[in-house]
Structure 1
Amino acid sequence: MGGEKKNKGWCRGRRTTATQPVQMTRHLIICEGKQTEPLYFEGMKKALGAVNGRKLAVVVRGTGRHALDLLDCALDLCRYAAEIYDHVWLVFDRDDFPAADFDVMERKCAELSDSSRTFHALWSNPCFELWPLLHLNYSTVPMNATGCQRQLASVLNRELGLTYWKNMGGLYEALASRRGVAARNAKKLGVHHDALGEPKPSRRNPSTWVGEIFDELEPYLGNDLG
């Protein structure tokens, strides 16, 4: 997502042979927000259907923690989990938090990743709502969180006839068929910021890495993407 990432050593589950049963891949999605992001990913989890529990195990947690505190929370959850999570996805926003803490998360995730577990920084600048917005609209104009949410409300009403409110449910389901559009738009934003010479996530506004999780899970979702 969003240009070429430096650390692509993902652990894509455990390899199997033709004579071995398919082994489950375990995912922990840990969100900064307590409602908006968890509701979205719970919608994704529901869309996985019978695959979740057979080929995948997906756990979604909303925490209210920010940046490095979110990472500490993820480490605690991993430490006390009954089984190893193959992938840990940290979902967090730029908002008004210190740029240094926001920018260091990708490096911290790379340092913590090893052959048994991969940590992923699914950051959004300025906020998570940029990801659903990219399903319906593309723009390189910088924005703050309030402006992003207002744009999302406007395009949801115009394109889908939906009334948006903070922490609304059903957002994943309403936009699932347009996720291919969102992925392409997110990558275009990455190319845009690369061309501007902006390597730091805190300076790449607007931009989001949320779509990276779908690079991993898309084969199991089976949606007809736009």
Structure 2
Amino acid sequence: MGSEDNFHKRKARSTSDLKRVKAFRKQNKRILIICEGSKTEFNYFRDLRTDLGIDPKQVNIPKNDGNTPDRILDHALALYDEDALSGDAYDKVYCVFDRDTHSTFDESVQRIESLKSGRKPKPFEAITSTPCFEFWLLLHFGYTDAAFHQAGKKSVGDNAVAALKKKPGFAAYDKGTQGIYKQLKPKLPDAIKHAQKLREESIKNRTMNPATNVNILVLDIQALSSSNK
């Protein structure tokens, strides 16, 4: 009888756990964020998640060994399909990458658009910056629509980083710098406003240099935090 009782207890616990998971999923969206590399963007969004008190199971930001748009998308697809097979697919998947000098940028953006509008749509979104993520950081200090160009041995991305290093507190900035989100948090509302204004102007003027839609992802993460309260 003892072993039979234990079996029923385990089954009851399992059923109870499953009900809790289903209840959590009914009330909470699950998103996946795959960033270019594993430094600036990775740290920024993880710090944002921590600051908002969001469970890592709800906003998954795994490390990614790929640093090109196509590899980022392939990795995101693999993780999305893996979870979909388990019966609990992500509600949204964000691929965060730069234009910079990547030869697969346009192709990857087009692939994501195809995934969104295909016969079996997948909830993917390209979160891009031109020339690079550092331009999003620059928008915390004020609005700008000045284009970036390659100059000598410096890529367009290098020049955006150089511009950021001229801002207060960023002279020693590099890709491994910690605490960027916390440092810029007081200026975040301004950056969101500036990014939105720039996107509207970019559409009107038909230019995407510079540009970023990182604010979309930030707002979506903030909305998750609000819905959890």
Q: TM-score range by the shorter chain?
A: 0.7 to 0.9
Larger RCO, structures 1/2 (Cα 8 Å, 6+ apart): 1
Percent of aligned positions that are identical: 29
Distance 1:113-1:181 versus aligned 2 partners, 3 A rule: farther
SS state of the match for residue 61, structure 2?
strand
Give 1:91 deviation, angstroms.
0.2
Report whether the alignment pairs 1:86 with 2:98. Answer: no
Q: After the TM superposition, which segments of 4 or more aligned residues of structure 1 sit over 3 Å from their partners?
A: 112-115, 219-222
* Structure 2 residue corresponding to 1:52, chosen from 52, 55, 65: 55
Mapped to 1, the partners of 2:119 and 2:43 lie a distance apart of 27
* Structure 1 residue corresponding to 2:131, chosen from 123, 126, 129: 126
Mapped to 2, the partners of 1:90 and 1:196 lie a distance apart of 26
Whether the 8 Å CA contact 2:49–2:221 is kept in 1: the answer is no
Distance 1:106-1:79 versus aligned 2 partners, 3 A rule: closer
Report whether the alignment pairs 1:101 with 2:107. Answer: yes
Distance 1:114-1:65 versus aligned 2 partners, 3 A rule: farther
Larger radius of gyration: 2
* Structure 1 residue corresponding to 2:117, chosen from 108, 111, 120: 111
Report whether the alignment pairs 1:76 with 2:85. Answer: no
Distance 1:135-1:193 versus aligned 2 partners, 3 A rule: same
Amino acid in the other structure paired with 2:178 = G
Hey, which of these two has a bigger chunk of helix by percent? 2
Give 1:111 deviation, angstroms.
2.8
SS state of the match for residue 38, structure 2?
coil
Q: Which residue is equivalent to 1:194?
A: 203
Give TM-score scaled by structure 2 length.
Answer: 0.73
Amino acid in the other structure paired with 2:43 = L
* Structure 1 residue corresponding to 2:181, chosen from 172, 178, 187: 172
Whether the 8 Å CA contact 1:105–1:121 is kept in 2: the answer is no
Mapped to 1, the partners of 2:206 and 2:49 lie a distance apart of 36
Distance 1:59-1:89 versus aligned 2 partners, 3 A rule: same
Mapped to 2, the partners of 1:133 and 1:109 lie a distance apart of 31
Taking only aligned residues, the RMSD between alpha carbons, in angstroms, comes to 2.5
1:87-132 per-position Cα deviation (integer Å, ceiling 9, x unaligned): 11110000111253254255234236967x5211101110011111
Q: Which residue is equivalent to 1:153?
A: 165
Mapped to 2, the partners of 1:46 and 1:211 lie a distance apart of 17
Amino acid in the other structure paired with 2:92 = H
Distance 1:114-1:179 versus aligned 2 partners, 3 A rule: farther
Whether the 8 Å CA contact 1:156–1:164 is kept in 2: the answer is no
Whether the 8 Å CA contact 1:67–1:105 is kept in 2: the answer is no
Report whether the alignment pairs 1:137 with 2:142. Answer: yes
Give TM-score scaled by structure 1 length.
Answer: 0.74
Mapped to 2, the partners of 1:88 and 1:191 lie a distance apart of 24
Amino acid in the other structure paired with 2:61 = V
Question: How many residue pairs end up in the alignment?
Answer: 191
Whether the 8 Å CA contact 2:130–2:209 is kept in 1: the answer is yes
Whether the 8 Å CA contact 2:99–2:130 is kept in 1: the answer is yes
SS state of the match for residue 96, structure 2?
strand
Mapped to 1, the partners of 2:119 and 2:195 lie a distance apart of 24
